[in-house]
Structure 1
Amino acid sequence: MTEPAHPQPDTAAVASTVPVVDRTAELTEMLGYLAACWDEERRLLARQLHDSLGSSMTALTMHLALLTQHIPAENQSMRDRSAQMKQLLAQIIETNRKMQLDLWNDKLEFLGLKAALAELVPGLAAAHGIKARTSLPDEDVSYTRTQGVVLLRCAEEGLRNAAAHARATLVDVILGDDGDQVMLTVRDNGAGLPQHSCADELLASTSCHGLRLLRERARFLGGSLQLRSQEGGGATLCMTLPKAAPAA
């Protein structure tokens, strides 16, 4: 009795998918590398703003204070002008501080991911007029700089999307670590995913560049990014990265 012939794979079709897979991997690697370079440039620029402009503004404030001491008490107009200059310098220093923080969170580098998230989440939530809560592990486990930056970017993107698109009023940012992998979850009480849209479509949508970039950066580090609706409303954005991530 002759055995039925098994269908042979279409070798041409299989061969044609190999370059696509290889090309996708190459693009993911290149995008991850470019994003890491971009972050490093932002870090260096923030450091220059701190070391150069920040130091100069502080020195000017001190010089102005010394000059103010020599203004005669009866010269009220000069004292008023000095007060205006002092106020202007204070505004410039505060603007410079905010620019540095937008570019790079120094707490990530010097104090760890927990401290960086503890500063980022309430500040960003207040700027968008929403309430945010953080749940962080008791101990701050060591992560690579690249991992920390990507996790911070995930928190930023999740908070911005929750406020701008989901019209959420409350956001929970949760950092978990089971020893093998780290998970950053942003959960909101907003409108949830758009009707007739699925999470995979949104993560691949050409109109969601922030989410697409996050997904590729997670893939570059051997992890993943998931977006899903919650029962009763709201959405959850979750990034998972292996602790033993590829070198970046």
Structure 2
Amino acid sequence: MTEPDPSHPDQEIERQVAARTAELTDMLAWLADGWDQERRQLARQLHDSLGSSMTALTMHLALLTQNLPADGKARERAAQMKTLLAGIIETNRKMQLELWNDKLEFLGLRAALAELVPAFGAERGIQARASLPEDDGAWSREHGVLLLRCAEEGLRNAAAHARATRVDVILDDDGEMAMLTVRDDGVGPCDDALARAPAGCRGLRLLRERARHLGGNLTLGRSETGGAILQMTLPLQMVA
């Protein structure tokens, strides 16, 4: 390969741009990984501290309720407190899941997607289906996190921007590449959405840079029916 001639201005500019782009890609990947670690730690703290405290309060309330008169305002108030605590526990559970999906860490990407996709569809009132391999592939934890983030971003965009009524999440592994596809029946992406990056596409651009850092790629295009196809590919040969 011919080295660029420093005396040639165009070659030197191209070299500097390429070096700067690679540096920024590495920096974005490092920042995103640190962000993921912070989210994981916060989710753990919510589970270990707030979650256990709320469960203990529920048990104490149940014991107190047993000693209250069958009729009266005290038992009615206890029932209201029980309902309130149950709501707080459920909110805490949802916050933990949004911050970090423990199934990814303990059961793998396949289990995390199998839970995420139908739950998202039920919550948003859209038809959401996951097509998954029988077993998890040979991807690293970093690859699994990134593929899951791609699925989450694709689902959010399908519901928030595409106004889709149906979305499919497909995970493939051919032994050399891992490919995650999110396909919806919505209005489709704007032209060159990743490059122009309107407010709703910045998360996708960050995902693209993280994919590039791992030697992969992220694309966003239109399907034959007009909806969006978000696709991330990552090379498995880079998995240590």
Q: When the two structures are superposed, what TM-score results if normalisation uses the length of structure 2?
A: 0.92
How far apart are 1:10 and its partner, in Å? Answer: 8.1
* Contact 2:138 2:236 survives alignment (8 Å): no
CA RMSD of aligned residues (A): 1.8
Question: CA, structure 1 residues 69+142, in 2 after alignment: closer, same or farther (shift >3 Å)?
Answer: farther
* Contact 2:43 2:97 survives alignment (8 Å): yes
1:1-248 maps to which residues of 2 (within 5 A)? Answer: 11-74=8-71, 76-194=72-190, 197=191, 201-207=192-198, 208-245=201-238
How far apart are 1:109 and its partner, in Å? Answer: 0.3
Distance 2:142 2:43 in 1: 17
* Contact 1:112 1:142 survives alignment (8 Å): no
Q: Once the two structures are superposed, what CA deviation does each residue of 1:45-98 show, in whole Å capped at 9, x if it has no partner? A: 000000010000111111111111111335x11111111111111111001000
* Contact 1:205 1:212 survives alignment (8 Å): no
Unaligned 5+ runs, structure 2: none
Unaligned 5+ runs, structure 1: 1-7
Q: When the two structures are superposed, what TM-score results if normalisation uses the length of structure 1?
A: 0.89
Distance 2:88 2:14 in 1: 55
* Contact 1:222 1:246 survives alignment (8 Å): no
SS of residue paired to 1:109: helix
Question: CA, structure 1 residues 246+34, in 2 after alignment: closer, same or farther (shift >3 Å)?
Answer: farther
Give the paired residue count: 234
How far apart are 1:246 and its partner, in Å? Answer: 6.6
Distance 1:232 1:61 in 2: 50
Distance 2:121 2:185 in 1: 14
Distance 1:191 1:63 in 2: 51
Instruction: Give the share of equivalent positions with the same residue, in percent.
Output: 67
Larger radius of gyration: 1
Distance 1:150 1:42 in 2: 14
